[in-house]
Amino acid sequence: MKRRIIAMAAVSVTMVAALSACSRDGEGARRAADAEATSPWVQPPHVQTARRDGAMILVQGRAGPDARVVLRGADGAAVAVGADATGRFELRVPAAPGDIRLTPEVQVGEDAAPSPETLVLIRGGAGPIVLVASGEATVRLDGQGALDAVDSDGSAVIVSGRSNGAPPVVLIDGERAEVMRGPGGRWRARAPGGGAATIDIDGTRFAFPGLGAQSDFTPVRAGEGWRLTWPTGPSGRQTVWLPDRGA
């Protein structure tokens, strides 16, 4: 069954409140710390920034404290680093010519816990730099514009971007879409349908070309932007369209 994109609202983490309550009891705090230290769950890494730095790609993010973080290329080549005691990590990856696709993961012994996100640097970072994940809105890491990305699975579209102030007015084929706010000034809007559409962001118009035919992570030019499509199961696929900056 085709996996549909679902616009995800921010969810409060109630565990923080529970641990705060335990901190009033020293023994409770120690038990919580011991449970965390022996937990079988491994926190996958999360990339926060990525940019071209000369002949290297500088990638920064967070993982579990002291975790061994790996960025694995599509050809199997990998670069690894240890996160610090707070979980922060920084990796430098050689900037090979052409497009770069990297999968973050955490290694625990001989096992690996891959992130659901894939880091893609179009034209080696000269083009858009994005984090893509099936069923999720794409996160764009290169600069800021009126519109970051348009994701579609053929059944729905998610329009997303960032704003320093109030979220924008978003029209999709002339219909006003409800805009949901997220952390860091990010916003997104969802509408049914997945074909070509006209998208208006605070009066700036974009022509979304619709779902791509390819599904192998190969970026292609589409209209005034880049289109990237990848498989989401036996028969599904997801497309993201990334408008050129300055549009």
pLDDT(73) > 70:
yes
Residues 223-231: what's their mean pLDDT? 95
pLDDT(241) > 90:
yes
Write out the two tokens for 79: 């670069």
pLDDT(40) > 60:
no
Query: How high does pLDDT run on average in the chain?
Result: 83
pLDDT single digits (tens) 85-136: 999 999 999 888 899 999 999 987 777 788 999 999 999 998 999 999 999 9
pLDDT(200) > 70:
yes
Range of 3-12, 38-47, 182-191 with top mean pLDDT: 182-191
C-alpha 99/C-alpha 48 separation (Å) is 19
| CA-based max dimension of the chain | 61
Q: What is the pLDDT of residue 36?
A: 38
Answer with the residue of higher pLDDT: 8 or 231.
Answer: 231
Q: What is the CA radius of gyration of the chain?
A: 20
User: What does residue 18 show for φ and ψ, rounded to 5 degrees?
Assistant: -65, -45
Share of the chain above pLDDT 90, in %: 60
C-alpha 5/C-alpha 153 separation (Å) is 7
| Burial class of residue 182 (count of CB atoms within 10 Å of its CB; 0-12, 13-18, 19+) | middle
pLDDT grade, residue 246 (50/70/90)?
low
Answer with the residue of higher pLDDT: 233 or 158.
Answer: 158
Answer with the residue of higher pLDDT: 165 or 209.
Answer: 209
Smallest CA-to-CA distance from 206 within 148, 144, 141 is with 148
pLDDT grade, residue 67 (50/70/90)?
very high
* 56-60, 100-104, 165-169, 214-218: segment of lowest average pLDDT: 214-218
Strand-strand pairing, 175-176 and 139-140: unpaired
Write out the two tokens for 228: 């990237």
